[in-house]
Structure 1
């Protein structure tokens, strides 16, 4: 299969997935719809983590951009009186990109554990700021996010969850489409080359630092959008979005789904959020241990992630 046909199949897959989820929406029970809304939004951050992993970079600081996007939405509502969801999410994306543009040149100079630790340090700095400045951020209690309008329409209390579901789905589809285009672009291929052999890439005339910086910016934009969608869907933001455990969840979900396809992190996130919800409700005292055991078993049995099941079946079918 040629690169062009593979790219076309990925774009077709995005359209089919979005269409299926759109048709599935009215048939979902309330809590299931909310769970899927959150999972689709979170999957954008996980896609960003997976893109960095494809470039050989593991970021423990993506919670920085999730919190930046979420708080940008909250402040845009409080300070500017903006209530249009599309404008709020655009603010979340721009905020994250600007933040990544400021710290990215420093972080992208490093690799391996150094990249992971410096990204973690920046995230924990933001966490401390959000936690300490109670008058501005609400401290550990966070900030409430009132209901937003969607294309100028105010959803009723009963229809708010459905409107946020389709809002999230629209942005999810656009972001997944952009990710598929990015992966098939020269920068996307160069990012994979960074992971495999940086020196050879430099000999070919490409700038490793420029490639990693662009990947970092794109991942930050996806994560900021994810944080903005989370703020709108949940109606509340708190400093825990910037805490290292949030970034750890993104990494777990990426490992769970795999990094070989833009669809893999989506599968990993949906499974992770579903397991998280089910186990915390069924085993309230030991749910974290149960979640760890289940995830460890999946990762050990499927080291390339859940998406490798589809790839194996597709390869057998093609024979």
Structure 2
């Protein structure tokens, strides 16, 4: 199996992050863990954006993945971390397979608002559930990894960091292959013109459906990793501001490359962390100005900084000059 430049860069980056883990301070390790986990959710948003849809309710699957990890340990007695993550992914995929039958009938603002509505329904259910801690949520039980107990403190922080790096690397590799496959390229064609895709004998609706289901599983994995890292889940994971944050990060990074969500998530986490520290009462304003600056100066996102823009070709010698203002006869 031949690896292209992106895949080789991914392997090198994963190795660097694994080696740097034990050397970095605990606060930075935790920040990177949460950023990488949320970047997986953003990957789900970007998958749908590449096909022409914007989901304002991706927090639904982020929350399902997190709560599945918490409830699996709390009510089912499951302690194996990988099994808990798999439980969240399966639950989200099953839910997406049901909701997708409805949502993929709609486009543009209708899809966005319907996805947001289902996320807010889950938020309302969790807030009213006293057994799940209502607005406070509940803590995640102690978990194991491949049968080995994970102690608290720095060991647990480093372990979940390494697990997140590996999961993010594997998902990024698979998504890169998917985006460059026939189906992935067809999704971009669907974004441009659904009618022409139908003339080719393909169904845009079922392509959107497949995208929606896969994006749900990826987002649930990010939610599960966040729950293991933070040790706590609450209904805010499904709130509209959380889903808006994922769209914010997607716009910040752009959709031009599979690495873009991770770059944007790390930048977003650093900007928000220092904004809260320096201006605790105005940090939202700083984030707003950051997004405004990106939209104005880098409309294709942060990743456009790493892309070589092709120089404009000089006009051919035989091209006719631009006619003077005022037209002939003046």
Q: TM-score range by the shorter chain?
A: over 0.9
1:98 aligned residue (91, 94, 97): 94
2:117 aligned residue (97, 116, 121): 121
List aligned pairs for 1:59-138, cutoff 5 A: 59-135=55-131, 137-138=132-133
Distance across 2 between alignment mates of 1:149 and 1:276? 31
The TM-score normalised by the length of structure 1 is: 0.94
Q: Is the 8 A contact 1:256 1:306 kept in 2?
A: yes
1:141 aligned residue (136, 143, 164): 136
2:33 aligned residue (17, 33, 37): 37
2:170 aligned residue (153, 169, 174): 174
| 1:111-146 CA distance string (max 9 Å, x none) | 0000001101111100100011112x2100001112
Identify the structure with the greater helix proportion: 1
Q: Is the 8 A contact 1:49 1:254 kept in 2?
A: yes
Structure 2 counterpart of 1:273:
269
1:182: Cα distance to partner?
A: 1.3
CA RMSD of aligned residues (A): 1.5
Distance across 2 between alignment mates of 1:306 and 1:216? 25
Structure 1 counterpart of 2:49:
53
Distance across 2 between alignment mates of 1:200 and 1:122? 31
The TM-score normalised by the length of structure 2 is: 0.91
Distance across 2 between alignment mates of 1:51 and 1:265? 11
Structure 1 counterpart of 2:225:
229
Structure 2 counterpart of 1:188:
184
Distance across 1 between alignment mates of 2:118 and 2:251? 23
Distance across 2 between alignment mates of 1:121 and 1:203? 33
Q: Is the 8 A contact 1:150 1:167 kept in 2?
A: no
Distance across 2 between alignment mates of 1:147 and 1:215? 34
Q: Is the 8 A contact 2:39 2:262 kept in 1?
A: yes
Distance across 2 between alignment mates of 1:60 and 1:66? 12
Runs of 4 or more above 3 Å deviation = none
Larger Rg: 2
Distance across 1 between alignment mates of 2:31 and 2:180? 31
Q: Does 1:304 align with 2:304?
A: no
Q: Is the 8 A contact 1:92 1:224 kept in 2?
A: yes
Give the number of equivalent residue pairs: 310
2:215 aligned residue (191, 215, 219): 219
Distance across 2 between alignment mates of 1:186 and 1:134? 47
Structure 2 unaligned regions, length at least 5: 312-330
Distance across 1 between alignment mates of 2:308 and 2:47? 22
1:295 aligned residue (288, 291, 294): 291
Structure 1 unaligned regions, length at least 5: none
1:153 aligned residue (138, 148, 152): 148
Structure 2 counterpart of 1:251:
247
SS in 1 for 2:82: helix
| 1:162-193 CA distance string (max 9 Å, x none) | 01110111111111111112112222111111
